[in-house]
């Protein structure tokens, strides 16, 4: 099984997809409890949603499920949101705070390090290489990190999540023009949009966002209600919803690309 895959494009945007993978090695899957084996916290169909939206974009996609190791968490285990509920580098619970491992089967410190080396590091090596490649070509690189999540998760946030949640760590990870372009086009859409609220950008966005070096990063966290037929099993892809959403994602990506090339 491939840890990740890369679809190379010749444009300045790299689409990162750390949470769409569903592969769990058999020896790890056997240790998950019934709840964990549902893989409920997947960014369901995220690759399909973004497929073909920007013809010249590069896509770096992890195929490993986040319950094996989370490719969008600090490899040192530092919390993304200190003081708030969140999940860890290798999660012990799901997004509802419920255990995902059978009793006594939680991974050890040594095992977590093995998984980091085997799955987390290769994905990020590929992502870094692709960003360096497109920056060498264009003088600028933009990481657009693609995420989605259920719209209602009381353990993580109150109420219903807005449809589009843009994160730039408070404007730190990208040029102000890129942030403004993304927010302007998202806000003009029929979808509710917020900037740097509950989701400010994960470790990936914060790690690669270096606007002073011509490398920008922005995270888009979509409520799954915008493109799934249901946010519960079987998490079906809704073609009609997705077509409507994709039209606006195209505009957002085009605006980001045009702005970046003018910097």
Q: Specify the pLDDT at position 2.
A: 87
> 3-state class of 83 per DSSP?
coil
| Residue 55, domain CATH | 3.40.630.40
From the centroid of its chain, how far is CA 152?
Answer: 18
Q: Specify the pLDDT at position 76.
A: 82
Domain count for the chain, please give it. 1
**Separation of alpha carbons 260 and 99, rounded Å:** 43
Q: Specify the pLDDT at position 100.
A: 97
Q: Specify the pLDDT at position 131.
A: 98
Residues 227-252 have a mean pLDDT of: 98
DSSP annotation of 191: S
Determine phi and psi for 186, rounding to 5 degrees. -65, -45
Q: Of 58-67, 69-78, 186-195, 221-230, where does mean pLDDT reach its minimum?
A: 69-78
Residue 175 · residue 262 · CB < 8 Å: no
List pLDDT tens digits, range 83-138.
565 678 999 999 999 999 999 999 999 999 999 999 999 999 999 999 999 999 99
The answer to whether residue 152 scores a pLDDT higher than 90 is yes
Q: Specify the pLDDT at position 168.
A: 98
Per the structure, the complete domain to which residue 21 belongs is given by 4-261
Q: Specify the pLDDT at position 84.
A: 61
Reported confidence tier of residue 1, pLDDT bands at 50, 70, 90: confident
From the centroid of its chain, how far is CA 217?
Answer: 12
The answer to whether residue 239 scores a pLDDT higher than 70 is yes
List pLDDT tens digits, range 53-81.
999 999 999 999 999 999 999 988 665 65
**Separation of alpha carbons 64 and 47, rounded Å:** 13
**Separation of alpha carbons 200 and 221, rounded Å:** 9
From the centroid of its chain, how far is CA 149?
Answer: 10
The tokens describing 196, both together, are 């740097």
The Cβ-side half-sphere exposure at 168, using a 13 Å CA radius, reads 23
């Amino acid at each position: 099984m491939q840890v990740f895959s890369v679809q190379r494009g010749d444009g300045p945007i790299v689409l990162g997809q750390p949470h769409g993978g569903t592969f769990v090695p058999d020896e790890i899957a056997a240790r998950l409890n019934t709840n964990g084996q549902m893989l409920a916290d997947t960014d369901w169909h995220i690759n399909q949603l973004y497929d073909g939206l920007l013809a010249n974009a590069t896509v770096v996609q992890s195929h490993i499920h986040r319950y094996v190791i989370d490719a969008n968490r600090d490899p040192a285990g530092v919390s993304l949101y200190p003081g708030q509920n969140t999940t860890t580098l290798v999660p012990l619970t799901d997004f509802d705070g419920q255990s995902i491992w059978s009793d006594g089967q939680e991974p050890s410190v040594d095992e977590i390090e093995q998984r980091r080396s085997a799955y987390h590091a290769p994905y990020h090596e590929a992502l870094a290489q692709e960003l360096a490649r497109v920056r060498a070509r264009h003088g600028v690189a933009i990481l657009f990190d693609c995420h989605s999540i259920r719209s209602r998760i009381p353990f993580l946030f109150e109420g219903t999540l807005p449809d589009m949640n843009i994160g730039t760590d408070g404007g730190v990870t990208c040029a102000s023009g890129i942030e403004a372009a993304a927010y302007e086009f998202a806000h003009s859409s029929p979808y509710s949009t917020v900037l740097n609220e509950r989701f400010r950008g994960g470790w990936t966005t914060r790690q690669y966002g270096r606007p002073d070096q011509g490398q920008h990063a922005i995270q888009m966290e979509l409520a799954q209600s915008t493109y799934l037929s249901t946010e519960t099993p079987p998490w079906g892809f809704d073609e009609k919803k997705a077509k409507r959403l994709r039209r606006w994602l195209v505009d957002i990506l085009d605006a980001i690309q045009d702005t970046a090339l003018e910097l």
